[in-house]
Structure 1
Amino acid sequence: MTPTPTPASLVARTPEDILAFVPVALGFPPECSVAMLTFGRGQSFHARVDLPDDPDDVDDVVDALLRPSLRHRVRQVIFVVYDDDTVVADESAWSLHEAFTERGIEVIDVLRVHDGRWFAVLPGRPPEAYDGVPFDSGSHPFTARAVFDGRVTRASREELRATLDPVPDEVAASGALLATSPAPLTGDRVRAVVTRHGEGPVPVPTEVLVPLALALRDPASRDQAWAGLSRAVARAHVELWSDVVRRLPDDLVAGPAAVLAVAAWLAGEGALAWCAVERCRAVDPGHSLARLVADLLDEACSPELWEPVRSSWERGAA
């Protein structure tokens, strides 16, 4: 699941509004997915779950979306199913409607999207809504507002994931330095480097980058890289750690990718946080920090929960 906070000052009133809002909220237009928009007295969040290949696995989709909705006291939801008119799409739409309604959560609407058209699922729409209504989110005011606000919407999740792909020349330079067996940075030095380069656009030099990554293999040193983060600086640290991840060979990338996942979660970039978790797990499937972030994302935990944890950690480290 990819939970994402609500972009401010966007009010959706029509199906076209909803369909323009989803890519802005998630950071990319979904494919073969269910997107959920939530509303209520608790924490509002938006989420995306991949559709399964088998209709028998639809219950997993329902559970992944219903569990955090109940936890956060969601009162109303809208579902958008991105898929052709398949058995899985139809089963997912109606199973979600039934499960949420049974638990007292109002389902405002369910839409299905395929090939630039939206289709009504629930009864009560005009007849043409069930035959497919063309739409174009690219010219919608929500899309223009997102660009104005500096929110980047990628063409797909694959394009977002590709922003963390290795840069061959940089990886080769890091690998050459690694072959000389440099010493890892100390914990204090890790924090100093992260603080310095998190404040500006100057990338970490290779001669520091490799010792930094080596240090992050040690959990105590890794804590120095992420536990002092705040939401105010999270976006700058997303840029910092994205650059670090792209420049490292695979055997050094797990720790930095996990720290990137924390920063992305704090910055409200849930989809990027998942991509960072996946990059970490591809090298180290059991990585503890990646598991922590994955749990936060699965439960749609708000970044607002972080500040009390950070303050407690700071007091303990003092």
Structure 2
Amino acid sequence: MTTHEPDYRFTRPGALIAALPAVLGFVPEKSLVLVALEGGEMGAVMRVDLSKTIGDDLSHLAELAAASGGDTVVVVIVDAEGAPCPMCNQDYRDICDDLSTALSAHGMEIYATHVVDRIEAGGRWHCVDGCGAFGAVEDPMASPLAAAAVLEGRRLYPRRSDLQAVVAVADAGRAASLVPAISEHAQAREADWRADPDGCGRRDVEAAMALAARVNAGAELDESELAMLACALTDVDVRDTLYALAVGADAANAEALWAVLSRTLPDPWRTEALVLLAFSAYARGDGPLAGLSLEAALRSDPEHRMADMLDTALQSGLRPEQIRELAGTGYRLAKRLGVRLPPRRTFGRRAV
């Protein structure tokens, strides 16, 4: 996962470490985190499970760091069990040596490496190379990035598993039970579409926007509404129009709907909801949610073109303002369908 926070300056290790939950969206545990530095500022942030770095090829991680545009990286190893153990430092040094070799192939180097037991107020960090530096982790919730995340509507999760639950199927039995209703609605919709393709698409887009507002207000969808939405997302023109909602004034409504559908619909219809959720999250600068949504979508359909394209963009560090340009297609389609979409909203300077 790659996340950018270009407005945060690298100053103190305790402050940098405390900022990681706000950037990643969750508190990392048993993790290797790379923070690319761009002109002394925090750039791309990449995290992998610590278990995957021991004796593993770190060239892909180095490629991601190089693609971020940074020139050096700060390495943070989060390990509650190993951090207090001086003998464990050799394992960390071995990881850093392998990483340094991989980075050097891209003209990058490690600026500093810190080991921390836990990322919370009172956590302790020390350097891995025996420099003697150590200190306390500042309060992550008092981090400027945490405050910015809250103001921008991003939720911070205690664990990665809590974030994963946002896109996980909530009730597999209920999801399976929706298949007959979806199939029945698909047959009825086919007749409507053949009679008037644009009219059918217009009605679906307008219905989706109305239901999104209801969902964001706390309403639950019934079986017929879920079936209608599942079928609507299989219509390319409808789906591509709905991508534009991610940059509109009612983007929060749309994202709430995509999250509900991601947790409720069965495959393969769930995949389209996951990709819409990923695009919405990516567009507003939430790389962690976008990444997990794409991971789930590609597990369901490895050949999904939009999911693959967004995943490639995210992994290569493409910034949200560039991704938002894709919404232009949705506005053009909406005009053809005769749908009035919410006006575009103004984004601040944030990137993932």
Fold-level match, TM-score > 0.5? yes
Within 2, Cα distance between the matches of 1:221 and 1:312? Answer: 11
Aligned equivalent of 1:145: 147
Q: Following TM superposition, by how much is the alpha carbon of 1:160 offset from its aligned partner in structure 2, in angstroms? A: 0.4
Amino acid at match of 2:128: V
- Unaligned 5+ residue runs, structure 1? none
Counterpart selection for 1:259 from 276, 292, 296: 276
- Flag the 1:178–1:283 CA change in 2: closer, same or farther, 3 A: farther
The aligned amino acid for 1:15 is: P
Equivalent position SS for 2:29:
coil
Instruction: Kindly indicate whether residue 293 of structure 2 is the aligned counterpart of residue 270 of structure 1.
Output: no
Q: Give the structure-1-normalised TM-score.
A: 0.79
Please say which of residues 158-167 and 296-305 is displaced more in the overlay.
158-167
The AA in structure 1 aligned to 2:48 is V
After TM superposition, give the deviation of residue 21 of structure 1 in Å: 0.3
Mapped partners of 1:304, 1:225: distance in 2:
18
Query: Contact 2:22/2:145 (CA < 8 Å) preserved in 1?
Result: yes
- Deviation of residue 277 (structure 1)? 1.6
Give per-residue Cα distances to partners, 1:186-217, cap 9 Å, x unaligned.
43333223333445624573322212112323
Q: Report how many aligned residue pairs link the two structures.
A: 307
Residue 50 of structure 1 aligns with which residue? 49
* Counterpart selection for 1:79 from 65, 75, 81: 75
Cα deviation, residue 76, structure 1: 3.9
Over 3 Å counting, the alpha-carbon distance change for 1:121 and 1:267 in structure 2 is same
1:210 aligned partner, one-letter code: A
Q: Residues of 1 paired with 2:37 and 2:131: CA distance?
A: 22
RMSD: 3.5
> How far apart are residue 99 of structure 1 and its match?
4.4
Return the alpha-carbon distance in structure 2 between the equivalents of residues 123 and 247 of structure 1. 51
Q: Give the partner amino acid of 1:187.
A: G
The answer (yes or no) to whether the contact 2:243–2:327 under 8 Å persists in 1 is no
The CA distance in 2 between the partners of 1:289 and 1:144, in whole Å, is 30
Q: Does 1:62 align with 2:62?
A: yes
Cα distance, 1:174–1:235 mapped onto 2, change above 3 Å: farther
User: Which of 102, 107, 124 is matched with 1:117 structurally?
Assistant: 124
Normalised by the size of structure 2, how large is the TM-score? 0.72
Where in structure 2 are the equivalents of 1:132-281 lying within 5 Å? Answer: 133-135=135-137, 137-138=139-140, 140-142=142-144, 145=147, 149=151, 150-168=153-171, 171=174, 175=178, 178=181, 181-183=184-186, 184=189, 186-199=200-213, 201-202=216-217, 203=219, 205-206=221-222, 207-227=224-244, 229-230=246-247, 233-281=250-298
Report the CA distance between 1:152 and its aligned residue.
Answer: 1.8
Deviation, 1:55, is 1.1
C-alpha displacement at 1:257, in angstroms? 1.1
Classify 1:96/1:86 alpha carbon distance in 2 versus 1 (closer, same or farther; 3 Å): same
Give the whole-Å Cα distance in 1 for the aligned partners of 2:297 and 2:72.
35
Q: Which runs of 5+ in 2 are unaligned?
A: 83-87, 194-199, 337-352
